[in-house]
Amino acid sequence: QKEVEQNSGPLSVPEGAIASLNCTYSDRGSQSFFWYRQYSGKSPELIMFIYSNGDKEDGRFTAQLNKASQYVSLLIRDSQPSDSATYLCAVFANRDDKIIFGKGTRLHILP
Amino acid sequence: EPEVTQTPSHQVTQMGQEVILRCVPISNHLYFYWYRQILGQKVEFLVSFYNNEISEKSEIFDDQFSVERPDGSNFTLKIRSTKLEDSAMYFCASSEGNRLSEQYFGPGTRLTVT
């Protein structure tokens, strides 16, 4: 059974600080990785997409991928109250044409 | 900015009835997906669709479910005989390619089966 694991939280971070969200996956052959943000009652919104080892930066967001450790993370710099949401890690399964989601980490930015 | 759209936003139906959920993927995208999310639970893959055929489906996607691309723009999910446990948010998503492409979600349809 291919799994994507995330700490459910809530993760509380002061406004302006760096929020660090982590995700591990079981399928070593997984090829691409997604971070989605989901506000309550809304659909997942794509924040970052990464498929090469290392860091990828987009504005305040940095995704980090380590395929050897089967680990992907998301850093949010200068956290804002509007960043408070559930962050979903998702992995494109190897040899299957589908994305597997983690249960998500609830992030709460403290004003 | 192009986006995935879905209709209706909310559908209420009685158990045993058929429902059709509609999606318009982003226009230059070739891969289409349906996911569902039961309240409080994680997003679950249902089916992927490419080149007018199903490329992958989950164990949830049984004979009660079907998908269709009836024309060049719409992508539909049909549930033939709804059950109470089909109540969930249903999300359509699309991408240009598959494994190495960003996948964008629509706003979802909330299905309530009574």
pLDDT in tens, A43-87: 999 999 999 999 999 999 999 999 999 999 999 999 999 999 999
Task: Give Cα A87 distance to the centre of its chain.
Answer: 6
Q: State which H helix or E strand residue B22 sits in.
A: strand B19-24
Nearest to A34 by CA among A45, A43, A26: A45
Instruction: State both tokens at B63.
Output: 């004979």
**Rounded CA gap, A37 and A44, in Å?**
6
Tell whether B104 is within 8 A of chain A (Cβ). yes
Considering only CB atoms, which chain A residues are within 8 Å of B35? 99, 101
**To the nearest whole percent, how much of chain B has pLDDT over 70?**
100
- Which among A90, A92, A101 has the least Cβ separation from residue B99? A92
Name which of B33, B59, B103, B112 to mutate to probe chain A: the one with the most chain A Cβ atoms within 10 A of its Cβ: B103
Nearest to A90 by CA among A32, A34, A52, A46: A34
Q: Is the pLDDT of residue B50 over 90?
A: yes
Instruction: State both tokens at A26.
Output: 């079981």
CB-based contacts of A38: which residues, under 8 Å, 6+ apart?
A: A44, A45, A85, A86, A87, A88, A104
Tell whether B106 is within 8 A of chain A (Cβ). yes
Contact across the interface for A97 and B105, Cβ inside 8 Å? no
Arithmetic mean of pLDDT, B71-91: 95
**To the nearest whole percent, how much of chain B has pLDDT over 90?**
90
Tell whether B45 is within 8 A of chain A (Cβ). yes
